[in-house]
Amino acid sequence: MSLLEGFEEMRLVKVGPSLKERLERWIAERHHRAVVRRLQSLREGVEREMEPESWTALEAPMVLLLADVCDALSLNEAERAIVLGQEGAQALAENLETRIHPVPSPRPPMRERQAKALAYAREHGMIDLGAYRTLCPYWSDETLRLDLANLVKRGLLTRNGVNKGTHYTLAE
C-alpha cells in the first residue's frame, strides 16, 4: 500500500484538485525551492572564495552557467534573481552579447626569453633547443620547449624536423 493510495478521489473541498494532486504539487514545489536554494548557495560560495575580486570576473563564465541552469529548470524571474544575485543579473545583462558571440581572451604578453628566441632566429635564420638553452641557461628544457611551441602557436615560428633534429625558423 503506497502513501498516496486512495487519495485520488479524496477532496478537501468540493471543487479543485484531489488531495493526491495537492500533495504531488507540494512535493514538487518544495523540491523546486530546494534546488533554487542550492544554486543560490553555490553562487554565494563562489562569491566568498573570490573576494575581493568579483565572482563575475571568472575566466570560465559562472554567470552564464547559472543562467543556463535557470533556463533549463524554467525558473521564474524571482527565482532567477535569487540564483544569480544582483551582481550576476547585472553582469548577465551587460554581457548578453558575449553569451552569443564569446570574446576570446587576450593572449598573454610575450615573455622576455621568447623575444630573445625570436631575435636569435632573425639573426641566424633558425633556432633549436640547444641554442635557446645557451640564451636562457637558467630555464628547464621543458619550459624552453613550451616557449618555442607557444611561438609556433602564435604563428611567429615554424617547426621543422622531429625529435632531436627539430629546429625553428621564422614563419612566413
Q: Where are the domains of the chain?
A: 19-100, 112-170
Which residue, chain included where needed, has cell 548557495? 41
Alpha-carbon Rg for the chain in angstroms: 29
Whether residue 69 contacts residue 83, with contact meaning beta carbons closer than 8 Å, is answered with yes
- Burial environment of residue 70 by CB neighbours within 10 A (0 to 12, 13 to 18, 19 or more): buried
What is d(CA 123, CA 138) in angstroms, rounded to the nearest whole number? 22
Per-residue model confidence (pLDDT) at position 159: 94
Show contacts of 12-19: CB within 8 Å, 24+ apart. Answer: none
Helical spans, DSSP H, in 101-157: 112-124, 129-135, 141-153
112-170, CATH topology level: Arc Repressor Mutant, subunit A (1.10.10)
Q: Which of 30-39, 50-59, 79-88, 156-165 has the lowest mean pLDDT?
A: 50-59
Which residue, chain included where needed, has cell 575581493? 52
Q: Which of 75-79, 98-102, 117-121, 131-135 has the lowest mean pLDDT?
A: 98-102
pTM above 0.85, yes or no: no
For the residues 25-34, what does the mean pLDDT come to? 71
Q: In this structure, what are the phi and psi dihedrals at residue 110, rounded to the nearest 5 degrees?
A: -70, 140
Whole-number percent of the chain with pLDDT over 70: 73
